[in-house]
Amino acid sequence: MKLDPNVRYAASHEWARKEGAELVIGISDHAQHSLGDIVYVDLPKTGSAFAAKASFGVVESVKAASDIYLPVGGKIAAVNSALTEEPALINQDCYGAGWLVRIAPDDPAAWDSLLSPAEYEKLAAAEAE
C-alpha cells in the first residue's frame, strides 16, 4: 500500500491534500486496490456543496460500486474531467492524475482532524486482517 506523506486520510479511505486555500480530494491506494479496475466515476457538478462525510459521488469497478465521501465539508471548486474518459487514472496514479475533486473547505482547520498517514496505515492494516 502506497501512502502520500502530504495528505490526510478519512476512515472511509479518501484523502485530502492542501493546495493553497483549497483541498484536493481522492481515494487512497488501499481503496483503489481493493476496488480493482475502475471503469466509471460519477462526480458532482462544480459549485455543489456537501457536508463532511457526505457522499459526493460513486466509483465503479469490475468488482463493485462504492460511494465516495467528502472528508471535510465544502463547495466543489473543480472536478477532474479526465476521469470521464479515463477512470483508470485512479488505479494508475490515485494521488496524482487520479484526483477526484478540488473543494473550498467550509472549515480549513478540519483538515488537521483527519488521519495522518501513519494512523491511516494502521486502520487499513487492521481492516485487511
Residue ranges per domain, the chain? 9-107
User: Is the CATH number of domain 9-107 2.60.120.260?
Assistant: no
**pLDDT tens, 2-19?**
999 999 999 999 999 999
Taking residues 86-111, report their average pLDDT.
Answer: 97
On whether the CB atoms of residues 53 and 12 are closer than 8 A, the answer is yes
Q: What is the C-alpha to C-alpha distance for residues 30 and 19, in angstroms, rounded to an integer?
A: 23
Whether residue 127 is predicted with pLDDT greater than 80 in this model: the reply is yes
Q: What is the C-alpha to C-alpha distance for residues 126 and 106, in angstroms, rounded to an integer?
A: 31
Query: How confident is the model at residue 82, as a pLDDT?
Result: 97
**pLDDT tens, 33-52?**
999 999 999 999 999 999 99
Share of the chain above pLDDT 70, in %: 100
Q: What is the C-alpha to C-alpha distance for residues 38 and 22, in angstroms, rounded to an integer?
A: 26
Q: How many Cβ atoms from other residues are within 10 Å of residue 128's Cβ? A: 9
Instruction: State the average pLDDT for the chain.
Output: 96
Whether residue 129 is predicted with pLDDT greater than 80 in this model: the reply is no
Model confidence, pTM: 0.96
Cell of 6: 502530504
The amino acid present at 86, given as its one-letter code, is E
